[in-house]
């Protein structure tokens, strides 16, 4: 298949930061979608030319952009945004699989030029307790079922933007902002964020304990450092002091969300010791970010 890039209806931007086997499944799912929707798929890879060449050989209909090995994911997304060709732009991850018909549903739901739509996230990596607990820790706030409608926030790995709206706010991402900053910028312009249950995606990421424990710390440190840019030392100390309570707050929120969805109750109970360690790492990362800055954390997020 050769993607009709010039006449594409939907662009996908996929930062590649994990294993090639993850990307294979992601692109395999997109290949199935291409029979229904003219796609423009851009993989932005920081994993070296050999990785990029392998993707080009196996998926010749995909455009692969090779970028520096230390480029953070937000800037990788921005690099993809800069070369999209379609009037709608979807952002997913290299370990996300879209189910059949996702592209058609995305186009049907994203007609207005001031509406951003995103779907809930379900777990496809269920073979180990660590995989299930890591997913629950990170995605308890967007587990299906989620009621469709206007929302104050949206996840960043199952989202569809009108291209003109995205273009006007892409500088936020190019400056290192994650989806929360991008969406806040869009809302200030008057855009509407909308959850759409029809855009549910599958998250297929396997973890070791140390990988997820360290990634929670790294992401939290980069996030916290970004929140206090330009603030004085007193403000940073105040935020770090308040963060001491964060593990308990996060555990309570995760428990409430899991209990509202019976299939996740057993994972919460069995995984409570792991969850406690993960949210503690999360809080430690935020404290470090507030007090010490981000260091190279943003470029190490996967």
pTM above 0.85, yes or no: yes
Residues of the chain with confidence (pLDDT) below 50? 1-4
Yes or no: say if 19 and 49 are a contact pair by the CB < 8 Å rule: no
**Residue range(s) of every CATH 3.90.550.10 domain in the chain:** 5-203
**pLDDT attached to residue 7:** 85
One-character DSSP codes across 128-157: SHHHHHHHHHHHGGGPSP---EE-S---SS
**pLDDT attached to residue 227:** 87
Helices 246-259 and 129-139 cross at an angle (nearest 10°) of 100
CATH for 5-203, options being 3.40.50.1820, 3.90.550.10, 3.30.465.10, 3.10.20.30: 3.90.550.10
Yes or no: say if 76 and 32 are a contact pair by the CB < 8 Å rule: no
* 167-222: pLDDT as tens digits: 999 999 999 999 999 999 999 999 999 999 999 999 999 999 999 999 999 999 99
**pLDDT attached to residue 230:** 82
**pLDDT attached to residue 6:** 59
**pLDDT attached to residue 111:** 67
For residue 189, list its beta bridge partners.
Answer: none
Give the 3-state secondary structure percentages of the chain, helix then strand then coil, rounded to 5.
55, 15, 30
**pLDDT attached to residue 5:** 55
């Amino acid at each position: 298949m050769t993607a009709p890039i010039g006449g594409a209806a939907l662009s996908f931007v996929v930062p590649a930061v994990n294993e090639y086997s993850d990307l294979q499944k992601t692109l395999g799912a997109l290949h199935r979608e291409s029979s229904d929707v003219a796609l423009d798929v851009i993989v932005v890879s920081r994993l070296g030319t050999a990785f990029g060449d392998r993707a080009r050989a196996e998926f010749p209909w995909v455009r692969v952009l090779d970028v520096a090995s230390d480029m953070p994911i937000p800037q990788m997304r921005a690099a993809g945004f800069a070369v999209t060709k379609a009037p709608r732009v979807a952002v997913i991850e290299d370990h996300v699989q879209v189910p059949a018909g996702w592209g058609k549903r995305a186009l049907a739901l994203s007609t207005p030029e001031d509406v951003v739509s995103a779907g809930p996230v379900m777990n496809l990596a269920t073979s180990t307790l660590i995989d299930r607990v890591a997913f629950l820790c990170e995605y308890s706030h967007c587990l299906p079922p989620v009621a469709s409608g206007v929302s104050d926030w949206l996840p960043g790995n199952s989202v569809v933007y009108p291209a003109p709206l995205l273009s006007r706010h892409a500088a936020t991402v190019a400056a290192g902002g994650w989806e929360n900053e991008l969406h806040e910028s869009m809302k200030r312009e008057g855009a509407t964020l909308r959850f759409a249950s029809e855009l549910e995606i599958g998250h297929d990421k396997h973890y070791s304990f140390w990988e997820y424990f360290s990634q929670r710390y790294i992401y939290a440190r980069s996030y916290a450092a970004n929140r206090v840019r330009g603030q004085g030392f007193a403000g940073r100390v105040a935020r770090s002091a308040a963060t001491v309570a964060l593990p308990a707050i996060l555990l309570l929120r995760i428990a409430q969300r899991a209990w509202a969805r019976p299939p996740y109750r057993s994972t919460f109970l069995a995984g409570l010791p792991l969850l406690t360690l993960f949210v503690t790492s999360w809080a430690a990362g935020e404290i470090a970010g507030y007090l010490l800055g981000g260091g190279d954390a943003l470029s190490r997020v996967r």
